[in-house]
Structure 1
Amino acid sequence: MQSIPQIIMVELTVPYESRMEEAHAFKEGKYLDMTKELKKDGYEARVMPVEIGARGFVGSSAYGLLSKLSIGGNKRTKALRLLAETAENSSRWIWSRRNERLLHKD
């Protein structure tokens, strides 16, 4: 019996919390054609958009991804906490430098 190669494409988005559902739907649609092509070429292809809110709220999509990757229990809890902290710290860093010239095109 021949196994089917699998591809899981993960797209991380850090939207404002009120736009998480919108961001998820956009990312799913963005890769629809690529997924169809991969399936046509004999792959089992899946897109898993993951949203972590800019203020550290972890969307259910992150929990689903870790479950799909067989990461559970304390390891999943630790990973979700780390994702939340990283998103929040990164957003804070970007906000603190919002007026720096590097971030703006002239």
Structure 2
Amino acid sequence: MVELTVPYKSRMEEADAFKEAKYLELRKELKKDGYEDRVMPVEIGARGFVGSSAYGLLSKLSIGGNKRTKALRLLAETAENSSRWIWSRRNEKLLHKD
């Protein structure tokens, strides 16, 4: 199971611990039913900081070298651009009541 989290940079470790705990019951059920599982929380900070978990995930998926470097750069840029977009619209109403 891979789950992406985009926390503020200072909360990376906290986010990782939360994701591990979140799937604890599901993991127990899978094990009971004879399945193997792996939880891989991936953190990419809202300001574009890519946690080592992203590097590890790409390595486990056999993505290495220049492809991994390019993917990590793209992940960082996408997180930063998305955060910038959200911040620029922070005062807009998401739901309009008619």
Q: CA deviation at 1:57?
A: 0.4
Root mean square deviation of aligned Cα: 1.9
Q: For residues 105 and 87 of structure 1, do their structure 2 counterparts lie closer, same or farther at Cα, with a shift above 3 Å needed?
A: farther
What percent of counterpart residues are identical?
Answer: 92
> Structure 2 length as normaliser, TM-score?
0.93
Change (3 A) 1:94 1:21: same
How many residue pairs match? The answer is 98
Question: Over residues 5-48 of structure 1, what are the superposed CA-to-partner deviations in whole Å (9 max), with x where a residue is unaligned?
Answer: xxxx0110000000000001001110011112112212111110
Cα distance in 2, alignment partners of residues 104 and 58 from structure 1: 35
The Cα of 1:103 is off from its aligned counterpart by 6.6
Gaps of 5+ in 2: none
Q: Identify unmatched segments of 5+ residues in structure 1.
A: 1-8
Q: Distance in 2 between matches of 1:96 and 1:52?
A: 20
Moved more, 39-48 or 75-84: 39-48
Distance 1:40 1:56, change over 3 A: same
* TM-score relative to the length of structure 1: 0.86
Over 3 Å counting, the alpha-carbon distance change for 1:72 and 1:91 in structure 2 is same
Q: CA deviation at 1:62?
A: 0.4
Decide whether aligned partners of structure 1 residues 104 and 63 sit closer, same or farther in structure 2, where only a CA change above 3 A counts.
Answer: farther
Deviations 1:50-100 (A, max 9, x none): 000000000000011111111111111111011000000000000000000
